[in-house]
Amino acid sequence: MFTKRTLTLLLIIFSSSFLFSQIRISTDFDSGSIGSYRLVDSAWVKRGANDSILTLTYEIESRFDPLNPIDTALRPSARWYHFKMEGVKDKQLYLTIKNSEVIRPFYSYDGINYTRFETGENVYKGFINKIFTRDTVYISHFVPYPYSRNRHKVDQWRVMPNVKHEIIGTSYLGLPIEMLTITDESANEREKKRVWIHSRSHPSESPASWHMEAMVDIITSDTPFGKELRKNTIFYIVPFINPDGVMGGFSRSSSTGVNIEINWDRPDSLTMPEIKILKKTLERVTSNAPMDLMLNMHSQISSSVTYWIHTAESTTERFLKEQLLLSSLTINYSPYYRPVDQSFSAVAPRYFEGWIWDRFRERSVAITFETPYTFYNQDRSGTWVSIDNLRELAYSSLYAISDMMNLGREDRILLDNETAKGSRNWEVSADTKNIFFGDTFFISQKEGAKLRVVSPTLQKGNYELFRWVVGPADENYPEDTNIWVKVDDVTLRNSGKVRYRYKSSIKGEKIDSFLLLKRSSQ
């Protein structure tokens, strides 16, 4: 015989069970990923006299990649998660997400527009507390950059003028691996620099793809900067080198469990098809000459931007200087990158950069660039990573590349010391313990030593003139060195040359290149 109390409890249990069954978790979509999950606790919580809210606590484990059949000692990663929850509207959800390091991940009500959880909604790593206002929500480690987004952007870019598209091969699961070759074909090819960029060997590293997408948008744009880049450069861009891993929602491996980032020195029998395709393509496009610059785009869990710079001990002092020049130029243009954030390692043959070093040595600068997932400059109270500021960082990257290889030429004009005149009171130095452009720089032999630089013929307009402050080629260097410092404003009322005379402030002052930036036309 049921008492009134027993019946009430049964109704609560039945009602709660029905409501709990309405929470559905799934990953059956592009880049979706989750491991195990379970309901830990549930309760109705009274918030007022006539107001109660259903509170649900879930424990979620992000999914580990498959065991690596080649590098068997390598522990599988479980960084990435991206799952959908249905039936969540107006319920208090507590989610504990294990195995992943990220803080303040993202959510979306439509699977397109993503928002970071507020600090109060993610006070502790992996713990989310939120009442969602819509019935369906997607929760993700970072704003996803899925395979479908890449397909959409490649289809957009491939039909643009000056863009050549080709499928260079297929992945283990048969997805196309695509390359874009971007250049102004009307310009003289012999004088062009050549730049290779690839991304997404690690599927979880979606910030790298947002950064790279912005770079390609700038390169293909109808802006003066975009036009100058195409006029003076051939870009070879492979946006996704691991499409299987991205579509399958893996963290650091392909669908087979192999981390293809460290698969470059394996025998053919242990080399993944994606790496074989990249090797074959690289051998083809470098058959006549090496690339000038090669960028391997990544994201890292450390809360800072960095380049992985190869040490002089594993390469050469000159090669270290070239890498540090690119890095310091990027620092110059970005508030999100500092000298202290630079990372250093020995070049190793299992990586892409090591494979390139073994073939071209100093003739090709190959380097990894990393963006964070969380915030910049190790500063939690500072700027958090977003699609918008990754686009800002894309400009910083391209300005640095342009300066390093003198790609602007009309709007960003590099005047190296070969253009200098009247340099008899200056010593010419090639000391690679300093960061400078080209092969040499000047050291003044007395205070007041004069140096005159002359530009090529330029269009009329307003320009700003900067000089490069030569600093040490060290892991850390003073913040007032290895930067552009403005020295003058220049106005050309008619097309012509800029002639500028610089006077050293002290004996021993180091002078290298000057940079003219065009601001407006007259």
| pLDDT tens, the chain, 522 aa long | 445 444 343 334 444 444 444 799 999 999 999 999 999 999 999 888 888 999 999 999 999 999 999 999 999 999 999 999 999 999 999 999 999 988 999 999 999 999 999 999 999 999 999 999 999 999 999 999 999 999 999 999 999 999 999 999 999 999 999 999 999 999 998 889 999 999 999 999 999 999 999 999 999 999 999 999 999 999 999 999 999 999 999 999 999 999 999 999 999 999 999 999 999 999 999 999 999 999 999 999 999 999 999 999 999 999 999 999 999 999 999 999 999 999 999 999 999 999 999 999 999 999 999 999 999 999 999 999 999 999 999 999 999 999 999 999 999 999 986 666 666 899 999 999 999 999 999 999 999 999 999 999 999 999 999 999 999 999 989 989 999 999 999 999 999 999 999 999 999 999 999 999 998 643
Pick the CATH number of 12-140 from 3.10.20.30, 1.20.1260.10, 1.10.287.110, 2.60.40.3120: 2.60.40.3120
CA neighbours within 13 Å on the CB side: how many for 321? 20
C-alpha to C-alpha distance for 69 and 272, rounded to whole angstroms = 11
In the sheet with 176-182, reading across from the earlier edge strand, the strands are 163-170, 176-182, 233-238, 193-199, 293-300, 365-372, 306-310, 343-345
Q: Which two tokens stand for residue 333?
A: 């243009």
- Tell me yes or no: is domain 412-520 CATH 2.60.120.260: yes
Nearest to 132 by CA among 61, 63, 54, 79: 54
Pairing mode of beta strands 293-300, 343-345: unpaired
Q: Which fold has domain 160-405?
A: Aminopeptidase (3.40.630)
Pairing mode of beta strands 233-238, 193-199: parallel
Q: Which two tokens stand for residue 347?
A: 């070049």
Listed by start position, the domains of the chain span: 12-140, 160-405, 412-520
Read off the pLDDT of residues 441-467 as tens digits, 9 standing for 90 and up.
999 999 999 999 999 999 999 999 999
Nearest to 47 by CA among 150, 103, 131: 131
Read off the pLDDT of residues 401-434 as tens digits, 9 standing for 90 and up.
999 999 999 999 999 866 666 668 999 999 999 9
